[in-house]
Structure 1
Amino acid sequence: MDPLTALTRVLPHRLLSSLARRLAYSRNPRVRRWLIDTVVRRFDVDLSEAAEPDPRAYESFNAFFTRSLREGVRVADPDPRALLIPADGRISQCGGIGHPDERGRIFQAKGRSFTAAELLGSEADAAAFDEGLFATVYLSPRDYHRVHMPWTGTLRETVHIPGRLFSVGPAAVRHVPRLFARNERLVCHFDTNFGPMAVVMVGALLVSGVETVWGGEEIPAYGKRINRKDYRGRGIVLERFAEMARFNYGSTVIVLLPAGVAELAPGLAPEAPVRLGQRLATRIPQVPQGSSDSL
């Protein structure tokens, strides 16, 4: 196990997160400049894609980290059947939920998995995704940190699940059991024209801030209880490829789809680099009820 992963098992996560938040939102010119310059240099951030390419123009490190992109630098796959990768980053894992070994389980790394119910905080919510598909995308500090819709959906409910703040880097994914089901996260449930879709925003070390386009800051400081918000009847519809949320630092987003609605795009594999808007999966044509036609 690498030293950082070992340290995250004993570090005071909440205290560090609180300190990191103060630094991230600081408008002190020296602090802001040092943080931005360090990340740009260490992670080779491509600011030519940003709507504001001048690192000195950002009022805080968080403003830099959640920067918007120039118009047209990311485009959605033109095939209307394509569900989209929701963020820049790398595929951590993707595949069938519970396939081929254990029902309802999501693969994390060799010898490690967790259940959809653990991730979503509900057996009932997880049942909708039995034998469906999942894709886990890891956002590194160099990546664009806004998350967009894989498919058009109507917001039904959000669930804030308090938890730890382990690192979600590759080493931690390999060594920390049930990592994504233990970290703090915001589960966003959408209704679509093929059924339910869940987009899970997973926090990480020094990260517990998630903002959504419909509610602003969604994760309260030091929350201790699962908090559900019901959005049914409010008519919050987000179109395919529209921005839905943002992280205040690098983290992970997990998309869950029900069984029989889509096939994962070929070529997606662990550690594969991906970009917002490229194809995640392709919708499977549905036979109308009562039809005897074959697909």
Structure 2
Amino acid sequence: MLKHVYRLMIELTNGRWTSVILRQFARSGISRFVVPSFAKIYKLNEDEMEKALHEYHTLHDLFIRTLKKEARMIDKNEKSVVSPVDAVIEDIGSIKETSEILVKGKSYSIQEMLGNDQTVTKYLNGTYMVLYLSPSHYHRIHSPVEGTIVKQWTLGSKSYPVNKMGLKYGVRTLAKNYRMITEVNTASGHIAIVKVGAMFVNSIEKIHKGMHLQKGEEMAYFSFGSTVVLLFEKGIFHLEPSIHTPKDIRIGEVIGILVKENGGA
């Protein structure tokens, strides 16, 4: 019963006033009374949390929780690309010459997603990956690679659900929701890390400062669940053979390797 209530709360966040009310509740001291039941319903792993459950004074604090340092191991291979989030890999594929990607049988335009014609060009015929975070996941986002931030920008104003139903029946959620895009230049080429909000306006908080990213370094966090879309420039990314969809993945686990633009490792 409680799980259905929580799901209803999450779906209500696509409305302006319900979003405001639920956001205020999640950040209020009253919400601490639902922290134990939420942790139980969504089977949160308390052993890996940096703090004990009773130390989270609001539901929002629990959503943006940090983990013990040893809870996630980052692959050290300099060529590897690691998952930036704890998530479910929902879709992987090629970016068409028309800039379209196909997610859950629905076409999305990365031109609309990125909002910049010049930026889009380098990703045509490249690879995309969609990683969905449910309310049960750890909500902090880490860098999948080492590299230099070329630019970072935000687009969109409202955020609608990006779960399976939202991706299938929503109105261009990945391309229209509030989103923060970070473009990173690596030794092999460019990667765009698109952080897509699922609830509330401006539900993505940036943590990282400076222009250089270490692989596994924390970049930002989501309030509640959301989605990360990774875009790889043509010819620079080889998918890890064991990856399939849907697949549960954790931060630091290998999702592929970077290769030189001429195809060499």
Secondary structure, counterpart of 2:245 in structure 1: coil
- Give the structure 2 partner of residue 13 of structure 1: 15
Extract unaligned runs of 5+ from structure 1. 216-234, 289-293
Extract unaligned runs of 5+ from structure 2. 1-6
Amino acid in structure 2 at the alignment position of 1:132: G
Label 1:287 to 1:208 Cα distance change in 2 as closer, same or farther (>3 A): closer
Secondary structure, counterpart of 1:190 in structure 2: strand
What percent of counterpart residues are identical?
26
How far 1:206 sits from its partner (Å)? 4.2
Name the one with the larger helix percent: 2
2:136 to 142, 145, 148: 142
- Give the structure 2 partner of residue 218 of structure 1: none
| Matches for 1:123-162 after TM superposition, within 5 Å | 123-162=117-156
1:121 to 102, 112, 115: 115
2:194 to 184, 200, 210: 200
- Give the structure 1 partner of residue 100 of structure 2: 105
Q: Deviations over 1:59-86 (max 9, x none)?
A: 3222211111112111112322111111
**Normalized against structure 2, the TM-score is what?**
0.89
CA distance in 2, matches of 1:284, 1:76: 19
Q: Which deviates the most, 185-194 or 239-248?
A: 185-194
Higher-Rg structure is: 1
CA distance in 1, matches of 2:25, 2:194: 26
| Matches for 1:173-252 after TM superposition, within 5 Å | 173-206=167-200, 208-214=202-208, 236-252=211-227
| Matches for 1:63-82 after TM superposition, within 5 Å | 63-82=61-80
2:253 to 261, 274, 278: 278
Q: Does the Cα contact within 8 Å between 2:140 and 2:218 map onto a contact in 1?
A: yes
1:171 aligns with 2:165: yes
Q: Over aligned residues, Cα RMSD in angstroms?
A: 2.4
Amino acid in structure 2 at the alignment position of 1:21: R
**Normalized against structure 1, the TM-score is what?**
0.80
How far 1:177 sits from its partner (Å)? 4.1
Secondary structure, counterpart of 1:19 in structure 2: helix
1:260 to 235, 241, 246: 235
CA distance in 1, matches of 2:62, 2:245: 28
Count of aligned pairs? 258
How far 1:11 sits from its partner (Å)? 7.8
Label 1:17 to 1:275 Cα distance change in 2 as closer, same or farther (>3 A): same
